[in-house]
Amino acid sequence: MESDPSSRKQAVIIGYFVAAGIGMLALQWLLATYNTIETIPYSEFERLVAQGGVTEVSVAQDTIQGKLKDKLPSGKSAFITARVDPGLAEKLESKGVVVTGVPSGGLFQTILSWIIPALMFYLIWIFLGRRLADRQGFGGLMSIGKSRAKVYVEKDTKVTFADVAGVDEAKFELQEVVSFLRDPKSYGRLGAHVPKGILLVGPPGTGKTLLARAVAGEAGVAFFSISGSEFVEMFVGVGAARVRDLFDQARKAAPCIIFIDELDALGRSRSAGAFGGYDEKEQTLNQLLAELDGFDPSAGVILLAATNRPEILDPALLRAGRFDRQVLVDRPDKSGRIAILKVHVRKIRVGKDVDLEKVAALTPGFTGADLANLINEAAIAATRRNADDVSLDDFTVAIERIVAGIEKKSRVLGKDERRRVAYHEMGHALVAANLSGVDPVQKVSIIPRGVGALGYTLQRPTEDRFLLSVRQLKNRIAVLMGGRASERLIFDGDVSTGAADDLQRATEIAIEMVTKYGMDEKVGQRTYASRPQMFLQAAQDTVVSAAELTGREIDLAVRDLVEAGDACARAILEKHRRDLDEGVGILIAKETLTAEEFAPLRPAPAQQTASP
């Protein structure tokens, strides 16, 4: 099998040129033959016969073609005329003319009149049919059982482990695959063999596909890449045929790597549904399981797959002997984010004031794709202001754009609304500045952003957190309730709808504390929430499996946590009322205020706790 797509394309182009040359030669021969024959009237033909000027003729059913003794005035000696008189043969014989009968419709005439038009209609039908099939998603009946895997060779991949950062553990695991593909005999000298299948699991955007391509680039082998959704179509059995064809191609191109992206589209757990064993997806999965059992890893075929939903995969797919190893590609920590930023800043012109460690500290929870998007947004921001390089301020603007949304300076707020929004946001900021276990405040703004935010308070974490205590979660609830507490304090209990999102987030934290983490003594240390999805940030089912009396206790516990946070926020704001009024005055005048510009927003040495 030819694994180089450029050579195949070159062969097709050469074939097109050869066919075009043959066609031009045939057309030239037809024109040359046609130019040596002159059409004459039948009366002229009879006159020439009567004068003895015709040497030989070929009589067809409708025409007469022949040669003359002398050339016509046009210089041609061959002629053709339409046959009119049925008794012509006798007259020709009486004059001594040689008459030759021609059967009706020669081979060349048959080709021109029947085969070529039929071939033209067939080609047009194939062309239009395939275009229609591609638009409808059928893919063409002629290639319905063929794999659509895209083949990347090492010179096309051009991705190595140097281009992948922030996932050192995953790279170490995959280094074994590279070593086996480079030297399988030496690697298996003790009887070990590389795992048949390696499953890359992790949140979206963490670099699973990039890692798979880096393995192929490091090993210098062919790389078959296909999505799990491309196996399944409307025709039953197509997916199984494509799985067989993909593995057949891989065996011929060994050593190579097969990479199946979004494996959950193909390997979802089987259940007794309406279609039972005749479901197309189930047949495709069964064929994949059979291929995994049948191929020998010593042949140099390695199967890599990626998914962000491992919890829904079929257990038979994950057992030993199929996907032997699972490699976690998680969100990078601070050091990983610094490494990823160093890889991506090579493509832009960075200013001297840019400290990648500060940028990494501002982006907790960002994936590799998020960081690449951040650098691009920062470069766009620098280009927009006609700068010579990208500065740290451009990175800050890009982070705010990604986290809070686009600034909407065209949305003009009234004087009373601006004052209310300013007190709301300053309430968040002051509560955060006076509580421990929360991220320090970086900036407060009353410029509308995103869909419905009339202002925002941006907090910057100082370090990555992997565990949260009860105190830290209660303090976060208090910070979220700071905006509503400030409105209630300043406007004599006349609160607004601006705290809707704050109440939602505070309630979600309280529900998780009670139903997921067992942090309420009255409800007890038991989990009442459904199991969340592992990597996707989807809304979880808030319905808890508890008795009616326990459900009421959960509701009361959630309410108490939110009310305790509100009480803590009000106490802090009453104590710092002067700072609240002063900060609001500056915020209204400048629209944006940082912790460096307003000292009370800086974390205090001794901070309080939002304990009830």
* 3-class DSSP state of 407: strand
Encode 230-265 in three state secondary structure: HHCCCCCCHHHHHHHHHHHHHHHHCCEEEEEECHHH
Q: Which of 425, 563, 574, 582 is catalytic?
A: 425
Q: How far is CA 196 from the centre of its chain?
A: 26
Question: Residue 490 has which token pair?
Answer: 């300043």
Question: Residue 429 has which token pair?
Answer: 């900021």
* 3-class DSSP state of 135: helix
Rounded to the nearest 5 degrees, what angle is found at the Cα of 422, between the Cα atoms of 417 and 428? 130
Q: Which residues pair with 54 in a beta bridge?
A: 68
Contact 205, 370 (CB under 8 A): yes
Catalytic status, residue 291: no
What is the number of residues in the chain? 612
User: Cβ of 327: how many Cβ atoms within 10 Å?
Assistant: 20
The amino acid that residue 339 corresponds to is A
Q: What is the largest CA-CA distance in the chain?
A: 136
C-alpha to C-alpha distances, 482 to 241, 259, 426, 583, nearest whole angstrom: 61, 49, 8, 15
Cα distance between the two ends of the chain: 72
Distance CA 143, CA 363 (A): 47
Cis peptide before 73 (omega within 30 of 0): no
Contact 402, 369 (CB under 8 A): no
Phi, psi (5° rounding) for residue 293? -75, -25
Distance CA 572, CA 489 (A): 11
Please give the positions annotated as active site.
Answer: 425
